[in-house]
Structure 1
Amino acid sequence: MKNKLLNSFLLFLAINAISINLSKAQYEFIPDQTTGKPLTTARYENVTGTPYLVDAWLNGEVKLANGSIVKPKAIKYDAVTDKLLFQQDGKIFEFFPRVAVFKLFAPNQTRTFLINDKNDQYFELLTDGDIKLLKKTKKVVLERKGYNSATVEKVIDENIKYFILVNDKQSEVKLNKKALAKLLPNYKSQIDEYTISQGTEENDYINLIKSLE
């Protein structure tokens, strides 16, 4: 009798362990949720330009919605569909559900992205203080036809916007001191006094925001 009870208990533990592992696997690595098949890049055939933020597959770090961390060896961010993809066994999959945070380990740079729960979009984190500067890179596939030509050319077009996140409120902002001072009136004098160098404009304003902390 004791052996039967012990065997039943061990079987119960084994079934639960399998269920937990399957649940984790489904959370971390689910193919296309609609078809149940791996994603393909067919939509980008014969397109000029890249739909990805970085065209190469990169090492990364991903924080799932449940707080657990995974470190895939091949991920890339699709800036057209706003999806984080990973490669496994030569196939492409989408992370689903969408992850809370992910990092791309690009050459000489680590780029961090957060999800905005209100609009379910990913934003790049440029400064990580009380005042956060966020960047949204959105790409679209445009179709254009030359004059008197029947040939349709598909090209990738890129649009970049910046946002300030303070006290859980996210507002779009232009990268100039006047716009920042209007959005952050308590820091107007510091913003006005800050000297913008002749370097990369984005880096100038990253340093400006950091100086306000």
Structure 2
Amino acid sequence: MRLRSFFLTSIGMGGLWSAACAQTTTPPASQTSQSRSPVGYDAQVNLNALAGATGNGNGVVRSFDNRYEGVKGSPFWVDQWLPGEVELNNGNKITNIQIKYDALGHMLYLKTPRNDSVKLGEAFVKRFVAKQDDAPQTFQRLANAGDALKTKLVRVVYEGKYSLAELIQKNMQKADFKGAYSSNVRYDEIYAENAYYLIRPDGTSEKVKLNKKSIISALGDAAGPKVDEYAKTNKLDFKTESDLVKALAFAGTL
């Protein structure tokens, strides 16, 4: 399907938009289970076999496995549409648009004026901002983050001499209910595996947890002890992003 010309004109993307976006679609949602019973030809085959209509009364009845229960969980960072803006790698910007970030498929969904949506590959996106609870959340690639992060869109919690970023990612565990040694899990499950990273001035990064021990250790001898003392004096809680930002801002002055 093609986007309406007025939408293309309104964002000014031209050929790049057409190349970057997949067909008009509706974002995937969590799926619920649906029982699959034989219908049509398959149902008639079963009836014929049960009734002995196959000629010798020993017809084989086709079996149907109805145990699969669908998909649980969501591929999206946030399930709701959020107001925001997108900047592409070529510098073009799309503003005043509703967006959803698919952290499983690494796609950005953009709502069109017709209330359907288009998919934009993450590789085309330099940066996007989504307003969540009136607070803008920025996703971008951090050029100074080293090889582990610089190719990925991350949510920037704080950017400075010492930066903090959250890598939003989802994975899927497939159903496992067949075979003698199965775990009897009858649904596919999408689950979050988000991770925080502290980026040091030299560009190296380290995966951290939101607690004082992990952060102070990642800051190293150059800043860790002084930040620890600063946090005690100011009663900072490393489990909250807001207090952690204060600690990193102080670390940037050292």
Using structure 1 for the length normalisation, give the TM-score.
0.72
Matched, 1:163 2:187: no
2:88 aligned residue: 64
1:9 aligned residue: none
Q: CA deviation at 1:80?
A: 0.7
**Aligned AA for 2:169?**
K
Instruction: Check the 8 A contact 2:106/2:122 in 1, yes or no.
Output: no
Task: Return the alpha-carbon distance in structure 2 between the equivalents of residues 59 and 65 of structure 1.
Answer: 20
Task: Return the alpha-carbon distance in structure 2 between the equivalents of residues 210 and 22 of structure 1.
Answer: 37
Identity %: 22
Any idea what SS the aligned residue of 2:104 has? coil
- In structure 2, relative to structure 1, the CA distance for the partners of 1:160 and 1:149 (3 Å cut) is closer
1:26 corresponds, among 4, 15, 20, to 15
Matched, 1:181 2:216: yes
Q: CA deviation at 1:110?
A: 0.9
1:143 corresponds, among 153, 169, 174, to 174
1:109 corresponds, among 135, 148, 162, to 135
- What per-residue deviation string (whole Å, max 9, x for no partner) do you get for residues 125-180 of structure 1? 00022221000121112224469897721222111211122347241232343443
Unaligned runs of 5+ in 2: 1-9, 33-70
- In structure 2, relative to structure 1, the CA distance for the partners of 1:52 and 1:43 (3 Å cut) is closer
Instruction: Check the 8 A contact 2:102/2:109 in 1, yes or no.
Output: yes
Matched, 1:191 2:181: no
Task: Return the alpha-carbon distance in structure 2 between the equivalents of residues 168 and 72 of structure 1.
Answer: 36
94-103 or 40-49: which moved more? Answer: 40-49
1:7 aligned residue: none
1:16 aligned residue: none
- In structure 2, relative to structure 1, the CA distance for the partners of 1:75 and 1:97 (3 Å cut) is same
- In structure 2, relative to structure 1, the CA distance for the partners of 1:41 and 1:70 (3 Å cut) is closer
Matched, 1:209 2:248: yes
Task: Return the alpha-carbon distance in structure 1 between the equivalents of residues 172 and 31 of structure 2.
Answer: 11
- In structure 2, relative to structure 1, the CA distance for the partners of 1:22 and 1:109 (3 Å cut) is closer
Instruction: Check the 8 A contact 1:140/1:156 in 2, yes or no.
Output: yes
**Aligned AA for 1:192?**
D
198-207 or 118-127: which moved more? Answer: 198-207
**Aligned AA for 2:227?**
I
Instruction: Check the 8 A contact 1:132/1:165 in 2, yes or no.
Output: yes
Using structure 2 for the length normalisation, give the TM-score.
0.62
> How many residue pairs are counted as aligned between the two chains?
189
Q: CA deviation at 1:57?
A: 1.2
Q: CA deviation at 1:112?
A: 0.4
Unaligned runs of 5+ in 1: 1-20
Task: Return the alpha-carbon distance in structure 1 between the equivalents of residues 224 and 247 of structure 2.
Answer: 12
Instruction: Check the 8 A contact 1:39/1:94 in 2, yes or no.
Output: no
Task: Return the alpha-carbon distance in structure 1 between the equivalents of residues 161 and 225 of structure 2.
Answer: 18
- In structure 2, relative to structure 1, the CA distance for the partners of 1:180 and 1:200 (3 Å cut) is closer
Larger proportion of strand: 1
**Aligned AA for 2:163?**
K
Task: Return the alpha-carbon distance in structure 1 between the equivalents of residues 11 and 138 of structure 2.
Answer: 28
Any idea what SS the aligned residue of 1:204 has? helix
Q: Between Structure 1 and Structure 2, whose CA radius of gyration is higher?
A: 2
